[in-house]
């Protein structure tokens, strides 16, 4: 709880009803997905509750956020900002922290159809933006977390790959003008928004100050470096006609397929064949979705329950599956894309299983377009987390996946993670194959202590393997301990990261738990 006089000062900023330091509310915010194994890795009790925040504050404007941050500096209280709030990254790392829940900042500020961007506040979900920009024939990038997640959080503060990444890229690449409340309480406006004259949101990197690398780098600072209150994001052409109608009843809605959309499920013989296929398909720039995943994961994305997952054996025995979705706005475009796909399949000796061995429900296409496929990861055990993740060439991503299989199998044999034959992986290209993303979704049971311990140890060993075998940097290198471990192997980046933290947050007020602390004096 906050001291009475401090609570009153916060209340003056947001109003009595928008701050709560009660036991029930603060405990509720202490809970999150995967916190149990984060606790285990930190030698704490492996329960799903983090440190309890001192209070939860609901600001509604940038000015209120600024005042809250200034007050935190005044009283030496750390803060952690969150929006839709999925995952342990939203959790306070100390008992001296307030949470800024940005739920009341929920406006779509501007849709610029001509310059292809949208400006939003933190609590606007991907689906909310999509349905509004669809009215102009446009689309937004949504991360694997799904359409219910905050688009601003993904674009400013988190990793951000998604199923539609071949066409819509990566959150880090889609950030334009940004309004940023620094840990000191100052407001910094990046890109064209920072121009003194005729400022606007259209660019993140200039004219005007470009600090995108510092602001978010590749994986984001997870509220370790201030609060992002408004951001402009790139828009993309919607891949097909925008008539999105799902009739019937939950969960098996009957989706009225757009005129020009088609899925391909291809089985590659081995990793080499898979790499060639990925590169070849992406070289032609025709895919809306181009994802490689294990056969178990393929079964999952076509299923709406565990029981229905198990009846998809026809696609459960594939070697190296590849899921492709092409979509078009005209028949001519569609014919062209299908023709190219046919030529590639002939060239690489691939057969489309869809239409012969398996036919997905129409809802699959609805979920492709709404970026809802990632949520299927929860079907089998109710819990999953990606044990590693990287962004690199197709060759390195696949090499990592290959080398990870025996390690994962070791933990499967222990019975602490679910059996996907060790092959559970998800890989997508970004921007038509310019580079790739790979992660290893791992199914565990959050209610089973041995399973929690198991996935935590697997993640640790997996990270070590990446280091020893030069397999690239996992995306969950977060917090002081891991940065200190990885930094010396990677040009001492951690020293630079600390320097940034110290410069932007001299009082250490923005919770560094999933970023890095400045460790004053060490830098």
Residues 147-166 interacting with another protein (rule: CB under 8 A)? 147-149
Q: Determine which residue in the list 69, 72, 118, 127 makes contact with another protein, applying CB under 8 A.
A: 127
First to last CA, the chain: 33
Please report whether residue 49 would count as binding another protein according to CB under 8 A. yes
Least distance to another protein, CB of residue 285, Å: 27
Please report whether residue 24 would count as binding another protein according to CB under 8 A. yes
Residue corresponding to tokens 């709406």: 304
Burial of 431 (C-beta count, 10 Å sphere; 0-12/13-18/19+):
middle
Q: Determine which residue in the list 7, 42, 108, 523 makes contact with another protein, applying CB under 8 A.
A: 108
Please report whether residue 146 would count as binding another protein according to CB under 8 A. yes
Instruction: Give the interface segment with another protein, choosing from 346-354, 359-367, 432-440, 472-480 (CB under 8 A).
Output: 359-367
Site for another protein in 67-96 (CB under 8 A): 84-87
Rounded CA-CA distance 509/519 in Å is 13
Residue corresponding to tokens 């969150």: 82
Least distance to another protein, CB of residue 387, Å: 15
Pairing state between β 97-101 and 78-82:
parallel
Site for another protein in 28-47 (CB under 8 A): 28-29, 31-33, 47
Q: Determine which residue in the list 66, 78, 125, 399 makes contact with another protein, applying CB under 8 A.
A: 125
Q: Determine which residue in the list 22, 206, 207, 213 makes contact with another protein, applying CB under 8 A.
A: 22
Among positive and negative, which fits the CA dihedral 28, 33, 37, 39?
negative
Q: Which is nearer to another protein, 252 or 314 (CB)?
A: 252
Q: Determine which residue in the list 297, 323, 380, 477 makes contact with another protein, applying CB under 8 A.
A: 380
Least distance to another protein, CB of residue 504, Å: 28
Rounded CA-CA distance 159/142 in Å is 11
Site for another protein in 271-330 (CB under 8 A): 304-308, 310
Least distance to another protein, CB of residue 182, Å: 25
Q: Is 390 left (phi over 0), alpha (psi -120 to 50) or beta?
A: beta
Rounded CA-CA distance 303/372 in Å is 12
Q: Determine which residue in the list 68, 69, 100, 129 makes contact with another protein, applying CB under 8 A.
A: 129
Rounded CA-CA distance 428/166 in Å is 7
Least distance to another protein, CB of residue 22, Å: 5
224 close to 510: Cβ distance less than 8 angstroms: yes
Please report whether residue 340 would count as binding another protein according to CB under 8 A. no
List, edge to edge, every strand of the sheet that includes 175-181: 108-112, 117-120, 227-234, 175-181, 187-190
Residue corresponding to tokens 């905050």: 150
Least distance to another protein, CB of residue 165, Å: 19
Q: Which is nearer to another protein, 287 or 416 (CB)?
A: 416
Burial of 138 (C-beta count, 10 Å sphere; 0-12/13-18/19+):
buried
Q: How many helices (H) and strands (E) does the chain have?
A: 17, 19
Pairing state between β 435-444 and 254-255:
unpaired
Please report whether residue 4 would count as binding another protein according to CB under 8 A. no
Q: Determine which residue in the list 132, 431, 461, 485 makes contact with another protein, applying CB under 8 A.
A: 132
111 close to 101: Cβ distance less than 8 angstroms: no
Q: Which is nearer to another protein, 21 or 502 (CB)?
A: 21
Q: Determine which residue in the list 7, 42, 131, 482 makes contact with another protein, applying CB under 8 A.
A: 131
Least distance to another protein, CB of residue 330, Å: 25
Instruction: Give the interface segment with another protein, choosing from 27-35, 64-72, 227-235, 502-510 (CB under 8 A).
Output: 27-35
162 close to 371: Cβ distance less than 8 angstroms: yes
Q: How many residues bind another protein (CB under 8 A)?
A: 75
Least distance to another protein, CB of residue 415, Å: 4
441 close to 426: Cβ distance less than 8 angstroms: yes
Least distance to another protein, CB of residue 522, Å: 35
Length, in residues, of the chain: 523
Q: Which is nearer to another protein, 342 or 447 (CB)?
A: 447
Site for another protein in 234-253 (CB under 8 A): 246, 248-251, 253
Please report whether residue 405 would count as binding another protein according to CB under 8 A. no
Least distance to another protein, CB of residue 184, Å: 27
Peptide bond into 207 cis (omega under 30): yes
138 close to 117: Cβ distance less than 8 angstroms: no
Please report whether residue 447 would count as binding another protein according to CB under 8 A. yes
117 close to 129: Cβ distance less than 8 angstroms: no
């Amino acid at each position: 709880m906050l001291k009475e006089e401090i609570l009153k000062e916060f209340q003056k900023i947001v109003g009595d009803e928008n701050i709560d330091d009660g036991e029930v509310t603060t405990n509720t915010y202490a809970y999150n997905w995967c916190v149990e194994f984060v606790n285990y890795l930190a030698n704490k009790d492996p329960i799903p509750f983090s440190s309890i925040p001192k209070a939860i504050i609901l600001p509604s404007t940038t000015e209120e956020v600024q005042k809250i941050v200034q007050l935190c500096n005044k009283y030496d209280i750390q803060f952690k900002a969150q929006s839709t709030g999925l995952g342990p990254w939203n959790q306070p790392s100390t008992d001296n922290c307030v949470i800024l829940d940005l739920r009341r900042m929920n406006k779509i500020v501007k849709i610029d159809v001509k310059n292809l961007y949208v400006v939003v506040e933190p609590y606007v979900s991907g689906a909310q933006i999509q349905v509004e920009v669809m009215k102009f024939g446009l689309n937004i990038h949504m991360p694997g977390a799904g359409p219910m997640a905050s688009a601003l959080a993904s674009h400013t503060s988190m990793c951000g790959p998604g199923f539609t990444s071949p066409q819509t890229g990566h959150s880090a690449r889609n950030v334009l003008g940004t309004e940023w409340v620094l840990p000191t309480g100052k407001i910094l406006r990046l890109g064209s928004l920072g121009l003194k004259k005729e400022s606007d949101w259209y660019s993140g990197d200039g004219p005007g100050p470009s600090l995108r690398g510092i602001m978010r780098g590749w994986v984001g600072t997870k509220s370790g470096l201030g609060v992002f209150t408004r951001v402009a994001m790139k828009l993309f052409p919607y891949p097909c006609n925008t008539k999105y109608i799902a009739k019937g009843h939950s969960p098996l809605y009957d989706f009225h397929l757009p005129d020009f959309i088609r899925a391909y499920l291809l089985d590659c013989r081995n990793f080499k064949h898979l790499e060639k296929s990925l590169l070849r398909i992406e070289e032609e720039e025709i895919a809306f979705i181009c994802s490689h995943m294990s056969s178990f994961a393929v079964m999952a994305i076509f299923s709406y329950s565990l029981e229905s997952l198990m009846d998809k054996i026809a696609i459960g025995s594939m070697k190296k599956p590849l899921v492709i979705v092409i979509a078009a706005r005209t028949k001519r475009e569609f014919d062209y894309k299908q023709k190219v796909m046919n030529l590639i399949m002939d060239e690489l000796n691939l057969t489309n299983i869809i239409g012969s061995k398996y036919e997905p429900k129409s809802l699959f296409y609805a979920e492709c377009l709404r970026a809802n496929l990632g949520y299927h990861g929860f079907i089998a055990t109710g819990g999953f987390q990606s044990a590693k993740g990287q962004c690199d060439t197709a060759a390195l991503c696949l090499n990592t996946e290959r080398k990870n299989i025996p390690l994962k199998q070791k933990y499967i044999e222990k019975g602490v993670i679910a059996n996907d034959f060790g092959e559970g992986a998800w890989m997508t290209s970004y921007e038509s194959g310019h580079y790739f993303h790979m992660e290893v979704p791992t199914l565990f049971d959050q209610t089973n202590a041995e399973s929690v311990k198991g996935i935590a140890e697997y993640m640790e060993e997996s990270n070590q393997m990446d280091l020893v075998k030069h397999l690239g940097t996992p995306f969950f290198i977060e917090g002081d301990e891991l940065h200190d471990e990885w930094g010396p192997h990677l040009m001492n980046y951690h020293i630079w990261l600390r320097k940034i933290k110290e410069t932007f947050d001299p009082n250490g007020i923005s919770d560094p738990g999933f970023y890095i602390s400045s460790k004053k004096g060490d830098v």
